[in-house]
Amino acid sequence: MPPNALSAFLPALLLTAALPLHAQTAANAAAQPPAPNVPLIERAKFFGNPTKASGRLSPDGRWLSWVAPRDGVLNLWVAPLDKPEQARALTNERTRPIRSGFWSPDSKTLLYVNDQGGDENFRLFGVDVATGAQKSYTPFEKTVVRIIGISPKVQDRILVGLNNRDPRFHDVHSLNLATGELKLVLKNEGYGSFNADRDLNLRLASRPNAAGGSDYFRITDNQVEATPIVSVGLEDSQTTAPLGYTADGKTLYWVDARGRDTAALLAQDVATGQTTVVAQDRRADITEGLFDPVTGRVQGYAVSYLKSEAVALDPAIKADIEFLNREIQGQYTITSRTRADDKWLVAVDAVTAPPAVHLYDRKARKLSLLYVSRPELVGAPLVPMQAHEIKSRDGLTLVSYLSVPAQAQPDAQGKPRQPVPMVLMVHGGPWARDDYGYNSYHQWLANRGYAVLSVNFRGSTGFGKSFTNAGDLQWGRKMHDDLLDAVQWAVQRGVAQKDKVAIMGGSYGGYAVLAGLAFTPKEFACGVDIVGPSNLFTLLGTIPPYWEAFKKQLYRRMGDPTTPEGQALLKERSPLNFAGNIERPLLIGQGANDPRVNVAESDQIVDAMKARNIPVTYIVFPDEGHGFARPVNNIAFNAVTENFLARCLGGRAEAIGDTLKPSTAQVRHGAEFAPGLKEAMAVK
């Protein structure tokens, strides 16, 4: 799926094991010391609402905002930074959770976007912090808002893109935050994106070119020039893009892989066009920088190969970064900074503890804990994650992440005393990547007794353009071979039992599940597909209209449905056409309103399997889209999943119980193939 695909955002007692791990032989069991008694962690602690999340400092430093439950639904909250006891809810969403908010430049309004039932027709809302008055800034049907420009220099307005005139393209509007007035700035006649400077003047527009990349055009007085000033080909399209301007408008920063393999951070002199390399790393792409909140000048960056590393460039923050690197155990991200730059909000990921957010006072050089996102997991038996470099059969390096259950007594590299069942987790995108850090799915599945392996297969981003481009036209082939090679590595290393490996994933990861069971039907013991496409023809035919600018790149990377060669390739790579080969248990979860992977993608492969009497369990959520945003739905599906995996792999599971009751789950087929599902349906 395209960039920004949705992937994958309660107190209770710990339980003892409900089901034994897959049995070892008596001889092996006798030869090993007894496994530790690891309590079963309730899945609601992983997938229920966080206590707090998405904290943000207001630019003036007076306020702290976050999302937290209100009557069971995530809403926006705010408190004076120095008086957290005065916290109050600003919104009252009753159904659809608000995942995050962001501040207006004048610190008077908290902004957020939300859709209805997962349809991704995102609207922009604002709440006055002083009065609590709420505005719907973009109250249009079948319209997706995009934020194009927010600047600390312009306090009263922002730039937004709206596709309510033409669903394919976003016209640029100036939005007055006080009055809600929208004023057309530029009518869009075919451009995919825009960049504005810190005076909110439009400066760049991009448009797809025949090569599958992008052409960038200068904008002067809201008029787009006819001749591009920069052209990027397909090979650089996933690794090259403008980041933003300095406050004086004289420098434009880019992440740029042209002329190199991994994307570097560049500074371009706008007047001359000359570029200077600010930072580069031969191992991985630099995808973002740390910028001064007032001047906009780059001060540092982060690079992630095996793990994320923060690097200071500006002497003004060098001591701060060194302090954070020294004091924080684990990885961290600076999520917001005040305009005075005296305080930073720092999100800390310790891997074996739930994420936490700290306030960093630069003058006092002091870190203060503000909140832990899931305090019910503090002290829980969470497991480490190991980063590994796995070689593919043709010599590529696949950066991968492994978690092993504590009861398997793994060594420092994650090798258990005896091989255990394993779940191969495949990320979405595919133009995305897996990262090192706390991962709710890794922790949940490891607690159930499974090793969990996430693989950055070819086509993943972050490791240089040659690695990303190696995935072109390789859906279901070399991309799938990488997954098989990683499984073989785990088996040969003594991590996984060869006949006890499941494959699970969402979006592209769901496609990989279907491809794994249809193209290599004996490789996996079972599969869990979440919103995965089954037919690449129908997938490309039902993409949202506002992906128009991305369509050429999709065709070049997946297969062109307008040519005979492309049609043959797409047919060959569509699991639907090989549904008759599936012989292992399959569980499918789908959102009925998914605009990226239409519900028909799951319907049609379920119908094909039903026609051949091949067992499949199919659950649809009528109020969800590309993934499950509502915790009650996510918990319900994962309850079915862990009981499905327990039958398939022999791990342990918490009973489904009444988790389906508060959800909207519709079991459309195959309840009899998932343990406990029929009984749970009766309760619902």
Cis peptide bond prior to 564, omega within 30° of 0:
no
Q: Active site includes 373? A: no
- The pLDDT score that the predictor gives to residue 16 is 24
Active-site hit among 107, 336, 460, 507: 507
Burial class (CB in 10 A: 0-12, 13-18, 19+), 411: exposed
Would the pLDDT of 28 be above 80? no
Active-site hit among 215, 626, 663, 669: 626
DSSP 128-170: ETTT--EEES---TT--EEEEE--TT--SEEEEEEEEEETTEE
Q: How many CA atoms lie within 13 A of 471 on its CB side?
A: 27
- The pLDDT score that the predictor gives to residue 548 is 87
683 pLDDT band (50/70/90 cuts)? confident
Taking residues 546-575, what's their average pLDDT?
94
Q: Active site includes 594? A: yes
- The pLDDT score that the predictor gives to residue 29 is 29
- The pLDDT score that the predictor gives to residue 13 is 22
Q: How many CA atoms lie within 13 A of 179 on its CB side?
A: 6
Place of tokens 């043959």: 568
Predicted confidence (pLDDT) per residue in 79-104, tens digit = 999 999 999 999 999 999 999 999 99
> Total structural domains in the chain?
1
Q: Does residue 485 lie within any of the structural domains?
A: yes
- The pLDDT score that the predictor gives to residue 451 is 98
Query: Is there a contact between 439 and 430 (Cβ–Cβ < 8 Å)?
Result: no
Q: Does residue 91 lie within any of the structural domains?
A: no
- With a pLDDT cut of 90, the percent of the chain lying above it is 92
Would the pLDDT of 34 be above 70? no
The 10 Å CB-count burial string (b at 16+, else e) for 640-679 is: bbbbbbbbbbbbbbbbbeebbeebbbebebbbebbbbbee
- The pLDDT score that the predictor gives to residue 636 is 98
- The pLDDT score that the predictor gives to residue 10 is 23
Q: How far apart are the first and last CA of the chain?
A: 34
35 pLDDT band (50/70/90 cuts)? low
- The pLDDT score that the predictor gives to residue 8 is 28
Domain of residue 629 covers 26-47+378-535+574-683
- The pLDDT score that the predictor gives to residue 2 is 34
Eight-state DSSP code of residue 430: S
Q: Please give the C-alpha separations between residue 633 and each of 49, 419, 630, 670, in angstroms, as whole numbers.
A: 12, 33, 5, 18
Among 299, 323, 303, smallest CA distance to 312 is for 299
**CATH code of 518's domain:** 3.40.50.1820
Q: Does residue 592 lie within any of the structural domains?
A: yes
Predicted confidence (pLDDT) per residue in 363-406, tens digit = 999 999 999 999 999 999 999 999 999 999 999 999 999 999 99
- The pLDDT score that the predictor gives to residue 30 is 29
- The pLDDT score that the predictor gives to residue 20 is 27
5 pLDDT band (50/70/90 cuts)? very low
Its sign, for the CA torsion 584, 645, 423, 604, is: positive
Residues 6+ apart with CB under 8 A from 147: 124, 158, 159, 160, 161
626 pLDDT band (50/70/90 cuts)? very high
Would the pLDDT of 1 be above 60? no
Predicted confidence (pLDDT) per residue in 124-161, tens digit = 999 999 999 999 999 999 999 999 999 999 999 999 99
Active-site hit among 594, 602, 623, 669: 594
Would the pLDDT of 621 be above 90? yes
Q: Active site includes 170? A: no
Q: What share of the chain is helix, strand, coil (3-state, %, to 5)?
A: 25, 30, 45
Q: Does residue 185 lie within any of the structural domains?
A: no
Strand partners, 348: 332, 356
Q: How far apart are CA 273 and CA 251, in angstroms?
A: 9
Eight-state DSSP code of residue 84: G
- The pLDDT score that the predictor gives to residue 6 is 26
Among 433, 459, 457, 461, smallest CA distance to 257 is for 461
Q: Please give the C-alpha separations between residue 624 and each of 486, 503, 621, 632, 634, in angstroms, as whole numbers.
A: 32, 23, 6, 11, 10
Q: Does residue 73 lie within any of the structural domains?
A: no
Q: Does residue 606 lie within any of the structural domains?
A: yes
Predicted confidence (pLDDT) per residue in 309-341, tens digit = 999 999 999 999 999 999 999 999 999 999 999
36 pLDDT band (50/70/90 cuts)? confident
Secondary structure of 3-59 in HEC code, one letter for each residue: CCCCCCCCCCCCECCCCCCCCCCHHHHHHCCCCCCCCECCHHHHHCCCCCEEEEECC
Predicted confidence (pLDDT) per residue in 211-236, tens digit = 899 999 999 999 999 999 999 999 99
Tokens of 34: 């007894």
Would the pLDDT of 504 be above 60? yes
Helix axes 508-519, 478-492, angle to 10 degrees: 80
- With a pLDDT cut of 70, the percent of the chain lying above it is 95
Max distance between CA atoms of the chain, in angstroms, equals 79
Angle at 546 between CA 545 and CA 547, to 5 degrees: 90
Q: How far apart are CA 222 and CA 187, in angstroms?
A: 9
Q: Does residue 269 lie within any of the structural domains?
A: no
Eight-state DSSP code of residue 682: H
Q: How far apart are CA 487 and CA 422, in angstroms?
A: 9
Q: How far apart are CA 151 and CA 430, in angstroms?
A: 32
Q: How far apart are CA 172 and CA 222, in angstroms?
A: 10
Q: Strands across the sheet with 356-361, in order? A: 331-337, 343-349, 356-361, 366-372
For residue 470, count other CB atoms closer than 10 A to its CB.
Answer: 20
Query: Is there a contact between 264 and 280 (Cβ–Cβ < 8 Å)?
Result: yes
- The pLDDT score that the predictor gives to residue 392 is 98
Would the pLDDT of 22 be above 60? no
Q: How far apart are CA 171 and CA 313, in angstroms?
A: 37
- The pLDDT score that the predictor gives to residue 19 is 26
Residue with more model confidence, 34 or 526: 526
Query: Is there a contact between 527 and 583 (Cβ–Cβ < 8 Å)?
Result: no
- The pLDDT score that the predictor gives to residue 9 is 23
Would the pLDDT of 485 be above 50? yes
Query: Is there a contact between 541 and 533 (Cβ–Cβ < 8 Å)?
Result: no
Q: How far apart are CA 544 and CA 567, in angstroms?
A: 20
Tokens of 553: 């790149």
- The pLDDT score that the predictor gives to residue 84 is 93
Q: How many CA atoms lie within 13 A of 553 on its CB side?
A: 25
Taking residues 477-505, what's their average pLDDT?
98
How much is the pTM?
0.93
Q: How far apart are CA 193 and CA 189, in angstroms?
A: 11
Q: How far apart are CA 487 and CA 402, in angstroms?
A: 11
Among 264, 268, 284, smallest CA distance to 276 is for 268
Q: Does residue 459 lie within any of the structural domains?
A: yes
Strand partners, 617: 587
- The pLDDT score that the predictor gives to residue 468 is 98
Burial class (CB in 10 A: 0-12, 13-18, 19+), 284: buried
- The pLDDT score that the predictor gives to residue 153 is 95
- The pLDDT score that the predictor gives to residue 684 is 73
- The pLDDT score that the predictor gives to residue 250 is 98
Taking residues 446-453, what's their average pLDDT?
98
